[in-house]
């Protein structure tokens, strides 16, 4: 990590910026208050006045990661051009999964810190966080008649698990060596499988 010397101004922000930079390079292993204090040129006692412990520092970095993840997912949502309700709802769910993996690949360190910091499952009610965005997209699929309401319960966990697992395999697992074109094809195929799985019963109902 490149040291950023602190001279004046907001020490808390300087430490937070240094922590984000360290997490980008080393993931959760880069977040040690004493090391970050040295990187900005202050004593560890000065740093502890702003961050009582490592968990507090992890939380700040995770917030930066969360903001980046939402931005990546929003960017993909902005690329959806379909206007027909069913096609649009289906495309938006796929876009969210693609944006999720985009962020994991672009910021693997922050991605890992993000899921270190939040051990408790989110409730999915906040439409401004990734899990809430996923739930809103699934609710839209029900509303347009593509996803059978009977299949809605648990669909959020299934979709999240599939996309997160794919992201982790690409970030630090056996898929990390895949050429980008092959990786993107594999992601598209996985997301298409999720789409088909949740639309089968609704498609059958419309055909009856």
pLDDT digits (tens, 9 = 90+) for 139-154: 999 999 999 999 999 9
| All structural domains of the chain with their residue ranges | 11-52, 55-207
Name the token pair of 77: 């949502």
CATH (one of 3.90.1150.10, 1.10.10.10, 3.40.50.720, 1.10.10.60) for 11-52: 1.10.10.60
Does residue 7 have a pLDDT over 70?
no
Does residue 203 have a pLDDT over 60?
no
CB 51 within 8 A of CB 60: yes
Q: What is the pLDDT of residue 2?
A: 47
Does residue 117 have a pLDDT over 60?
yes
Torsion sign (Cα): 198, 86, 162, 166: positive
Structural Rg of the chain based on CA atoms: 20
Q: What is the pLDDT of residue 118?
A: 64
What's the mean pLDDT in 91-97? 97
d(CA 152, CA 53): 40
CB 110 within 8 A of CB 23: yes
For the chain, what percent of residues have pLDDT higher than 70? 87
Does residue 47 have a pLDDT over 70?
yes
The CATH homologous superfamily for domain 55-207 is: Tetracycline Repressor, domain 2 (1.10.357.10)
CB 33 within 8 A of CB 53: yes
Q: What is the pLDDT of residue 42?
A: 84
CB 87 within 8 A of CB 184: no
């Amino acid at each position: 990590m490149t040291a950023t010397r602190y001279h004046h101004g907001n020490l808390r922000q300087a430490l937070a910026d240094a922590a984000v930079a360290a997490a980008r390079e080393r993931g959760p292993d880069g977040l040690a208050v004493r090391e970050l204090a040295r990187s900005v040129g202050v004593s560890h006692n000065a740093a502890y006045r702003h961050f009582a412990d490592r968990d507090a520092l992890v939380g700040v970095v995770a917030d930066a990661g969360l903001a980046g993840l939402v931005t990546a997912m929003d960017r993909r949502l902005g690329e959806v051009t379909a206007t027909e309700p069913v096609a649009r709802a289906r495309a938006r769910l796929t876009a969210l999964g693609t944006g999720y993996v985009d962020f994991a690949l672009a910021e693997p360190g922050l991605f890992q810190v993000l899921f270190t910091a939040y051990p408790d499952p989110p409730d999915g009610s906040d439409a401004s966080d990734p899990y809430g965005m996923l739930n809103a997209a699934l609710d839209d699929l029900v509303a347009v008649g593509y996803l059978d309401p009977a299949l809605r319960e648990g669909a959020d966990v299934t979709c999240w698990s599939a996309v997160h697992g794919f992201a982790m395999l690409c970030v630090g697992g056996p898929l990390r060596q895949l050429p980008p074109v092959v990786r993107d094809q594999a992601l598209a195929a996985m997301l298409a499988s999720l789409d088909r799985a949740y639309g089968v019963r609704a498609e059958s109902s419309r055909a009856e």
